Each structure stands twice: as structure tokens, then as C-alpha cells.
């Protein structure tokens, strides 16, 4: 027979269970009253109490880290204003198309294996380019001081009336990367034709960076025609081997300029670089205020040779492959220090972009509240802000991470002979806040483990080499991360002039934020000349897609609107700098 469970009685004040419940309630009330009294003592007024509680009203003011200066226009001047208006005319458009097209047609390739200047005839193309510039811009060559530095470097000087003002320096480079012959059939228009299709000018150098060089020359020619008399000296510096590291061009030009004007003797430098980008529903102008560092590490594995019919368990190629696998199995950590310009870009996005991701904003607010960058060794805690931002893709991730790329490998000479030597080159671009030593230390650890496993000797950056060893050798052109240019739009300075000029030309909806270059320009040699270096391509065509006009590849081109806007920007910027009290 099924038994009937006893009835469940309600708990009441008279039951033992009710006494315990009542006691718990009284304790909760007492604890609540104590907490209220404690908060009243800690926060005697409602305002201080509000600051304690996170709310929409207490959100960080992201705009304070991304101040936008007002549009900056130069003073009214009838002749100069008329010259500026002329840039928008059909006659100027047609003329500048011809001038840029002609510049592209002069084949100024630079090669990694160029011999000495004066001995290797491939340098002679720059004589032709100089003649083209002299013919195309006669006033500049008549009125300004033109100097040749190390034969092909060009330095133009328009002396200002006030020698107490530091000069404005505009840069570009004359050379282009080569066009591989096998790619010529793939071009829409021949690569040295300078063809114009009604929208774009096509050809090698059209967007890297003869457009910037010609825009700077157009600016000075126009200002000369209009009778401009600068107070601040204006310099144009054009290297000729930027595409092979600038050792013969920019390095000599920088030394020449520093000898004349001294260390920190230049007010501002503008060179080629980053441009505009739509992100989070907002148009950003991103002048590069920093560059990542650079180093190549050469790895050599030496192992015994012999006949391949009686092989060793692991040849030099196999050992090198194992080391490469270890290198690629783990990336450098993603880390965003406060000095990295991308940290400011995030603040600009949070302040002005309606589509800025909420999770990213939350992490950014937390970082700003803590007021500290992630520091320490590779075993430090993860940088959650950087990791979340990196989800936008590799182009963003590598703004906050040292990159590694195994780009060159070789080994072996015959199929039946064991390779006695195998080599590889690993390219690195060093993150802001890190150094080339970080790379060397990591590779020494990885190579040491492989060397011990295979009973080899390790020579890590000691300049030694011997049989049965792994040798790590440094780059011939090692470069630490560039000094970061000051970029506070709320302070009167070169950045606020650049930002104000950009907003004057393109409208106040453009947000100007400091950018970062993953590559390096000729400015690597100009660090001692000024703290204010901007790597910026100021032309904008709203119809242009992402990217930089297919630079270094097939169908390089630039839109005419982009180019004309570059001339407008340089014209405004030169005049604004001339009037700036810096």
C-alpha cells in the first residue's frame, strides 16, 4: 500500500523555520543600513556618489584624446587666392595631367644590385628626369636655389625673409620599383605610358610617388607665378633610391640639410605615406606620425656533407626547416602601448564614429581609466584592448605587433649530395614599444633549442662561424622604431596646422588622427632634423577604393582628382605654415 507523505506546512512566525527566516531578514536589513551609512560617510554629496557609479553620464570623454582643430585658412590675398582657385580650373587640370604623365614616362627604376654612381649606367636615367623637371617647371629653376647632392639628389631652396623661422620641408622620391618584364602584358595600359583614361593616370610611379613630387613642384610654381614672398624658407628634398633603402639619396640629403640648418633645424617635414580611410562610418585622415622598426635576421645552418645514398638523419635543410617551423609556430604578442598612434586612433573612433564597436569602446574606457600601458616581458598579461582591435584584420593587427616573415631560403647544390649549408632570411617590422633586441633574444632561444637537439654549436649574433653550427647574423640596415611625432590637435603646432589644413580643404566631417606606417620612408634619415615628421599622401578622391593605387604591382595609377587635391593641399599647407607662429 502506497504511503501518504506528511503535509508541507507553511512557515510562519511561530515555527522554528520562521524564526530562522525572520532572523536572516533582520540581519539583511541591518547590513543594508550599515552599507548606506558607510556610503554616506564616504560620499557626503550626490555628485560624488554619482562618480562612484558607472553610468552614461560618467563615460570617459574620448574626444579629449582626439582634439580636432578648426579648419585653417591662410589670410586673404587677392593674387594668391586667385592662384588657388585656378587649381580647380579645366586648364590647370589638363596641364597637370600632361606634367604628371610626362614624369611617369621617364623610366626611373632603382634596383637592389645597382653599382656605384658614375660607374653603373642604370643611374643615368635620373639625368633625364632632372632635364624633364627643369623644362616643365621653369620658374622654380630660374628663381630658386637648385642643388644636386650626391649627383642625383635634388634640393630646392626658396629662401624666406625671416631667418629666425625654421623651414618647411616637403619630400618625395624620384625613383620607382622596377616593372618585371613578364608582368607587362598584364597591365591595362603600358607601365611607362603615363596613359590618361579620363579619370586616372596610369603607370609605374603614378602613385608612388611621382604624383607627390609633381604636386609639390606644381605648388611652388603656382606660388611663384602669383608673386608669393615667403617668410619661412621652403625646401623640397627629392631622393633617388628610396625603393632600395635610400642609402645614396636620402641619407646624403639629410646630412647636407643638417649641416646647413643644424639639428632640430626644420619646423616640419611632410613625406609620402598613409592617406585617408573610411572606418566605423567615419572618414579619417591618417598622417603617419610613427614608423615601425626594421631588421632582417640571416640564419645559416652548417652540417656535414656526403653522398645522399648514406644520409644523416637530418640534413642542414631539414634542420633549418625545423627552426623555421618553430619560428612560425608562435607570433610576437599583440601589444598596444600608449605612445602608439593607433591608441589615439581608437580614441578618435570612440569619440566621433557612430559605428565604433561597443566592446572595443568598453575596453578602451577601461584602459583610459587605468592610465597605464601594458609593459613587461612576453609573459606579461594579455593586452585585451589590442587583441580585440586586432580582430579587424591583419592590416590592423600588425600596427600593434612585431611581424615576422621568412622571405628568402636557399640550400643544396645537387640532388645526390648532402647540403653542407642552408640559409634563410627572416624579415621583421618592430612594434612601437619594442626593439630589435626583442627579435634577437627570441631567435637565439629558438635556435639554441634546435642546436642542442642536433648537437650543433650556436653562434647568435657574435660574428663567428664554424662547421656543424647554427649561425644567426644581424641585418646590414637595422632600424629601431621611429620617434613618435607629437600629434595633439589642441596644441598650436605643426600637427594642428596639418589637421586644420586638411579640414579646411575636405570639410569638418573629416577626423584627423595620427597614423602609423608599417613600412619605412626616406624620413628614416631625417629624425635629427625635427620632431615633427608626417608621412602623408594628402590627395583624396572619394570614389577611390581602399589601397594606395596598386603601388608596387600591376596597374599602378592615381586619379586626377586625387592629384589635383594634393596640389590644393600643399598650396594651403605651405601658406598656413608660413603664417604659423611656431
pLDDT of the residue at 17: 43
Taking the CB of residue 462, how many other CB atoms lie within 10 A of it?
10
C-alpha cell at 392: 579587424
What is the spatial distance between Cα 480 and Cα 527, in angstroms, rounded to a whole number?
Answer: 12
pLDDT of the residue at 3: 44
Instruction: Give SS3 for 270.
Output: strand
Query: Which domains does the chain carry?
Result: 78-290+482-579 (3.40.630.10), 293-332+402-477 (3.30.70.360), 334-368+387-399 (no CATH)
113 is catalytic: no
555: left (phi over 0), alpha (psi -120 to 50) or beta: left
Catalytic residue (choose from 218, 221, 242, 556): 242
Q: Is 271 annotated as a binding residue?
A: yes
pLDDT of the residue at 49: 38
Q: What is the pTM of this model?
A: 0.86
Q: At what angle do helices 494-506 and 560-579 cross, to 10 degrees?
A: 140
Catalytic residue (choose from 175, 241, 541, 544): 175
Report cis status (omega within 30 of 0) of the bond before 46: no
What is the spatial distance between Cα 348 and Cα 342, in angstroms, rounded to a whole number?
Answer: 10
What is the spatial distance between Cα 146 and Cα 139, in angstroms, rounded to a whole number?
Answer: 12
pLDDT (tens place) for every residue of the chain, 582 residues total: 444 444 433 334 344 444 544 555 556 555 555 554 554 455 444 433 333 333 333 345 788 899 999 999 999 999 999 999 999 999 999 999 999 999 999 999 999 999 999 999 999 999 999 999 999 999 999 999 999 999 999 999 999 999 999 999 999 999 999 999 999 999 999 999 999 999 999 999 999 999 999 999 999 999 999 999 999 999 999 999 999 999 999 999 999 999 999 999 999 999 999 999 999 999 999 999 999 999 999 999 999 999 999 999 999 999 999 999 999 999 999 999 999 999 999 999 999 999 999 999 999 999 998 866 665 444 568 999 999 999 999 999 999 999 999 999 999 999 999 999 999 999 999 999 999 999 999 999 999 999 999 999 999 999 999 999 999 999 888 999 999 999 999 999 999 999 999 999 999 999 999 999 888 999 999 999 999 999 999 999 998 865 556 788 999 999 999 999 999 999 999 999 999 998
242 is catalytic: yes
Q: Is 552 annotated as a binding residue?
A: yes
Q: Is 208 annotated as a binding residue?
A: yes
pLDDT of the residue at 45: 47
pLDDT of the residue at 114: 96
pLDDT of the residue at 477: 84
pLDDT of the residue at 61: 78
Q: Is 79 annotated as a binding residue?
A: no
β-bridge partners, 155 = 147, 237
Residue pair 508/236 in contact (Cβ under 8 Å)? The answer is no
Instruction: Give SS3 for 48.
Output: helix
Q: Position of cell 624579415?
A: 427
Residue pair 335/400 in contact (Cβ under 8 Å)? The answer is yes
Q: Where are the alpha helices (DSSP H) in 43-77?
A: 46-52
What is the spatial distance between Cα 261 and Cα 529, in angstroms, rounded to a whole number?
Answer: 8
Give backbone dihedrals phi and psi of 430, rounded to 5 degrees, phi first. -85, 130
pLDDT of the residue at 370: 83
Q: Position of cell 606660388?
A: 223
Amino acid at each position: 500500500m502506497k504511503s501518504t507523505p506528511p503535509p508541507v506546512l507553511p512557515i510562519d512566525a511561530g515555527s522554528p523555520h520562521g524564526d530562522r527566516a525572520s532572523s536572516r531578514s533582520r540581519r539583511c536589513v541591518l547590513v543594508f543600513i550599515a552599507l548606506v551609512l558607510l556610503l554616506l560617510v564616504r560620499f557626503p554629496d550626490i555628485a560624488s556618489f554619482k562618480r562612484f557609479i558607472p553610468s552614461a553620464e560618467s563615460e570617459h570623454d574620448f574626444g579629449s584624446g582626439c582634439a580636432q582643430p578648426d579648419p585653417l585658412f591662410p589670410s586673404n590675398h587677392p593674387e594668391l587666392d586667385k592662384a588657388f582657385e585656378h587649381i580647380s580650373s579645366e586648364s590647370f587640370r589638363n596641364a597637370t595631367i600632361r606634367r604628371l604623365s610626362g614624369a611617369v614616362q621617364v623610366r626611373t627604376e632603382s634596383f637592389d644590385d645597382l653599382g656605384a654612381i658614375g660607374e653603373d649606367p642604370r643611374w643615368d636615367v635620373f639625368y633625364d628626369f632632372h632635364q624633364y623637371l627643369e623644362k616643365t617647371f621653369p620658374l622654380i629653376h630660374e628663381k630658386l636655389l637648385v642643388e644636386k647632392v650626391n649627383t642625383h639628389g635634388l634640393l630646392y631652396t626658396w629662401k624666406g625673409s625671416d631667418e629666425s623661422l625654421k623651414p618647411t620641408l616637403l619630400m618625395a622620391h624620384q625613383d620607382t620599383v622596377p616593372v618585371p618584364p613578364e608582368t607587362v602584358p598584364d597591365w591595362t595600359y603600358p607601365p611607362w605610358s603615363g596613359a590618361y583614361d579620363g579619370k586616372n593616370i596610369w603607370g609605374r610611379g603614378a602613385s608612388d610617388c611621382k604624383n607627390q613630387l609633381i604636386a609639390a613642384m606644381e605648388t611652388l610654381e603656382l606660388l611663384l607665378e602669383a608673386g608669393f614672398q615667403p617668410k619661412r624658407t621652403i625646401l623640397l628634398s627629392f631622393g633617388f633610391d628610396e625603393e632600395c633603402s635610400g642609402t645614396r639619396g636620402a641619407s646624403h640629403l639629410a646630412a647636407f640639410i643638417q649641416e646647413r640648418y643644424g639639428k632640430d633645424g626644420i619646423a616640419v617635414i611632410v613625406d609620402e605615406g598613409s592617406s585617408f580611410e573610411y572606418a566605423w562610418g567615419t572618414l579619417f585622415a591618417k598622417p603617419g606620425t610613427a614608423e615601425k622598426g626594421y631588421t632582417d635576421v640571416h640564419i645559416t645552418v652548417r652540417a656535414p656533407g656526403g653522398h645522399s645514398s648514406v644520409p644523416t638523419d637530418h640534413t642542414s635543410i631539414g634542420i633549418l626547416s625545423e627552426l623555421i617551423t618553430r619560428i612560425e609556430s608562435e607570433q610576437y604578442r599583440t601589444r598596444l602601448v600608449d605612445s602608439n598612434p593607433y591608441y589615439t586612433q581608437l580614441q578618435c573612433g570612440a569619440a566621433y564614429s557612430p559605428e565604433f564597436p561597443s566592446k572595443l569602446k568598453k575596453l578602451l574606457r577601461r584602459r583610459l581609466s587605468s592610465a597605464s600601458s601594458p609593459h613587461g616581458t612576453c609573459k606579461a598579461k594579455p593586452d585585451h584592448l589590442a587583441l580585440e582591435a586586432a580582430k579587424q584584420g591583419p592590416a590592423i593587427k600588425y600596427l600593434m605587433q612585431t611581424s615576422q616573415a621568412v622571405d628568402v631560403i636557399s640550400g643544396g647544390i645537387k640532388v645526390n649530395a648532402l647540403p653542407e649549408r642552408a640559409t634563410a632570411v627572416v624579415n621583421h617590422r618592430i612594434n612601437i614599444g619594442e626593439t630589435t633586441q626583442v627579435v634577437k633574444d627570441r631567435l637565439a632561444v629558438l635556435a639554441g633549442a634546435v642546436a642542442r637537439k642536433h648537437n650543433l654549436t650556436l653562434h647568435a649574433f657574435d660574428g663567428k662561424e664554424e662547421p656543424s653550427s647554427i649561425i644567426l647574423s644581424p641585418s646590414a640596415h637595422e632600424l629601431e622604431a621611429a620617434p613618435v611625432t607629437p600629434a595633439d590637435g589642441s596644441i598650436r603646432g605643426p600637427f594642428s596646422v596639418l589637421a586644420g589644413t586638411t579640414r579646411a580643404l575636405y570639410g569638418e566631417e573629416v577626423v584627423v588622427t595620427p597614423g602609423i606606417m608599417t613600412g619605412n620612408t626616406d624620413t628614416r634619415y631625417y629624425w635629427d632634423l625635427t620632431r615633427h615628421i608626417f608621412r602623408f599622401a594628402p590627395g583624396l578622391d572619394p570614389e577611390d577604393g581602399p589601397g594606395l593605387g596598386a603601388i608596387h604591382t600591376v596597374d599602378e595609377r592615381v586619379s586626377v582628382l586625387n592629384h589635383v587635391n594634393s596640389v590644393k593641399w600643399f598650396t594651403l599647407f605651405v601658406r598656413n605654415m608660413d603664417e604659423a607662429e611656431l
